[in-house]
Amino acid sequence: MTRKVKAVVIGAGVNGLVAAAALARAGGDVTVIERGSAPCGMMALGLFARGPHPAALETLGLKAAALGPAISTVALCPSGRHVMVEGAEARFADGSAHPGAERWRVLSHRLDRFATALAPLLTGAPPPMRLRAEGLPGLLRFALRLRLLGARDMRELLRIGLSNAADLAADALPEGPLPGLLAFDSVLGSRAGPMAPGTVVPLLRRRAPLRRMDGLAARLAAASEGKGGRLRIGAGVARILFEDDRARGVLLDDGERVEADLVISSLGAAPTLALAGAEQFDIEAQRRIRTIRAVGAAARVDLYLAAPPRIPGLDPAHHGARLVLAPSVQAVERAFDPVKYGRLPALPVMEGRIDGARLSLTVQCVPYGAPHDRIVAASLAALEMVAPGIGGEIRQAEALSPADIEAMTGAPGGHWHHGEIALDQFLTLRPANGMARYAMGPPGLFLCGAGAHPGGDVTGLPGLNGARAALEAMR
Ligand SMILES: Cc1cc2nc3c(=O)[nH]c(=O)nc-3n(C[C@H](O)[C@H](O)[C@H](O)COP(=O)(O)OP(=O)(O)OC[C@H]3O[C@@H](n4cnc5c(N)ncnc54)[C@H](O)[C@@H]3O)c2cc1C
C-alpha cells in the first residue's frame, strides 16, 4: 500500500484553503494550521470579491452561483451625476444615457479580450527561466491566445502591457468618474499611483464579475474541509522543522510537533523565511526575500451612523452596489502622491458598501502606521464631497491601518498582496528571482499565498498553483 503524502498548510486564508483542498483531492493527508480564531485571513477585511477563480472553485467543489449574485458598481461623482457600471455597460445612476457609454463598452470588451489572452500566464506557474518541458504548455497557450487576438489587438496589448492605467484611461475616455474607476481598480491594494508603469496588468486581473464577500470565508473553509483538508484553528506555527536538509513538519506555539512530507506556507515570503530560519537559505536568497517591497497602503474603515447615509443623486435602491469614490484619474494620482512621503492624502480614494446605518470602506492611499483618527478624518473629508454633512451623522468609527493589518494577520507590511504587484515583482520575479515556481529554499517547502504568483485578491490561484507545484515535486 502506498503511504499517503502528509502535508501541512500554514494559514487558512483563501490560498491556504484552496491549497489544502487541492492536496487532499490528490490523496494527501492534509492539516491546515491557522493562528487566528477563524479561517479567513485578510478575507475578513474584504468587501467584494471577483473570485475565487473558476479553477479554484472547481478544486473546492463549489459553483460560482453559490457565491451569490453579481453586483454593479456606482462610480460616485461630487456633482451628484453618479455613474452606474455593469460590466461593459455604463449609464448615469438616474437611468439616463452616459455620453461615454459607447467608448466604455469598446474599452471594456477590449480589456476582456486582453484578460483572456493573459489568463494562461496567471492560472499556472510562471514560465521557467530556462526553457523546460513543464513550462511549454502554458507558454504555448499564451502565445496562441495572443495570436488569436489579431494583429491590431496584439500590438495594442504589447503597447499598453508595460504602460500605465492613467494613459490607458485618458486615451479612451474624457476625465471623470469612469476613468477614475479604472485608475482605482488598477492600484487598489498596491502602493502605487495609476501613472506608475505596469498598472495595466492589475486591471486585467480584475475583469470577473463582483460579488459581496459576506460569508465567503466560512463557505470556502467548509468546502476545503469537505474535500479532506483538516483545519486546526487557533494554533500558530512557531517554526518549520527540517531533517536531512528537507522540510519535515512544523512546531506549534504550544510545543506540539506536526510531522509532514510537505510544508506549504500561505504566509508572505519573509515570514516564511523567519519560520524556517535564515540558515535554510543561501545568502543571496535571504537578500532577495528581505528586499521584497511589501508596505501596504489600504486601510479598512467602518462608520456607524445614526441612519443610512444620504448620498444626493443615489437612490437608496442602489445602496447594495459597490460604491467607488475616485472622481477622476487625477484624484487617484493626487491621493497617492503624499503616501510616497509617509503622509495621508487630504482626500483619499475608496470603495465602500452600505449595510443599513453602517458604511464599510476600503480606503486606498493610507501610509503604513497612520493614526486611526486621522484615517477616519481624511475618509470623512473625501466622503463629504458626495455625502454632505455625513461627519455629523457618525456615532462610532473604527479604522485599521496597514500596520494593524500586519499585526492581525501577519501579512508583510499589511500588504493586500503580501508584496507589491509591480513589474519587478511579477511573473518569474514573484516573490523573488529564483523562487517563482513556488518551491522555496530546501526541498519540501513551498509558498502558496498572495506573495506568490499571480498575487492577491480572493482568487485562490497562488494556493492552487502552489499545491500543484508541491505535488509535482513529490512525484
Ligand atoms: C484592507 C484590505 C481589504 C481587502 N479587500 C479585498 C476585497 O474586497 N476583495 C479582494 O479580492 N481582496 C481583498 N483584499 C486582499 C485579499 O484579502 C488578500 O489578497 C487575500 O485574502 C490573501 O489571501 P492569502 O490566503 O494569500 O493570505 P492571508 O489572507 O494573509 O492568510 C494567511 C493566514 O495565515 C495565518 N497565519 C499567519 N501567521 C501564522 C502562523 N505563524 N501560524 C499559523 N497561521 C498563521 C493568518 O492568520 C492568515 O489567516 C483586501 C486586503 C486588505 C488588506
pLDDT digit string (tens) for 402-453? Answer: 999 999 999 999 999 999 999 999 988 999 999 999 999 899 999 999 999 9
412 alpha carbon – ligand 1 mean position (Å): 10
**What confidence score (pLDDT) does residue 1 get?**
38
The alpha carbon of 377 and the centre of ligand 1 are apart by a number of angstroms equal to 26
Same domain, 14 and 110: no
Q: Which residues line ligand 1 (CB under 6 A)?
A: 10-16, 33-36, 41-43, 45-49, 189, 213, 236-237, 266-267, 298, 300, 362, 405, 409-411, 416-417, 449-450, 456-458
Average pLDDT over residues 67-71: 93
**Is residue 407 domain-resident?**
no
d(CA 465, CA 427): 13
State whether 231 and 147 are in the same domain. no
Instruction: Confirm whether 52 is domain-assigned.
Output: yes
Atom 3 of ligand 1: nearest residue by CA position: 46
What pLDDT score does 146 carry?
Answer: 79
Q: Indicate whether 133 belongs to any domain.
A: yes
Report, as an integer, the average pLDDT of 359-368.
Answer: 98
Question: Domain count of the chain?
Answer: 2
Is the same domain home to 96 and 112?
A: yes
Q: Are residues 382 and 432 in the same domain?
A: no
Q: Which three cell numbers stand for residue 272?
A: 516564511
Task: Specify the residue with its C-alpha closest to ligand 1, atom 49.
Answer: 41
- Nearest ligand 1 atom to alpha carbon 16: 25
Ligand 1 mutation pick, 10, 31, 43, max ligand atoms within 8 A of CB = 43
Ligand 1 centroid to 451 CA: how many Å? 10
In degrees rounded to 5, what are phi and psi of residue 413?
65, 10
Residues 420 and 464 placed together within one structural domain of the fold: yes
- Stretch 347-363: mean pLDDT: 98
Query: Are 93 and 186 in a shared domain?
Result: yes
The pLDDT confidence band at residue 145, using thresholds 50, 70 and 90, is: confident
For residue 9, report the distance from its CA to the centre of ligand 1, in Å.
14
Same-domain status, 97 and 195: yes
On whether both 205 and 218 belong to a single domain, the answer is: no
The predicted structure's pLDDT at residue 177: 98
User: Pairing mode, if any, of strands 257-259 and 322-325?
Assistant: unpaired
Percent of the chain surpassing pLDDT 70: 98
Q: Whose CA is nearest to atom 10 of ligand 1?
A: 457
Residue 22 lies in a domain: yes
- Give the range of the structural domain holding residue 420, as residue numbers without chain letter: 6-66+213-293+413-474
Residue 139 is predicted with a pLDDT of 76
Q: What's the 411 CA to ligand 1 centre distance in angstroms?
A: 7
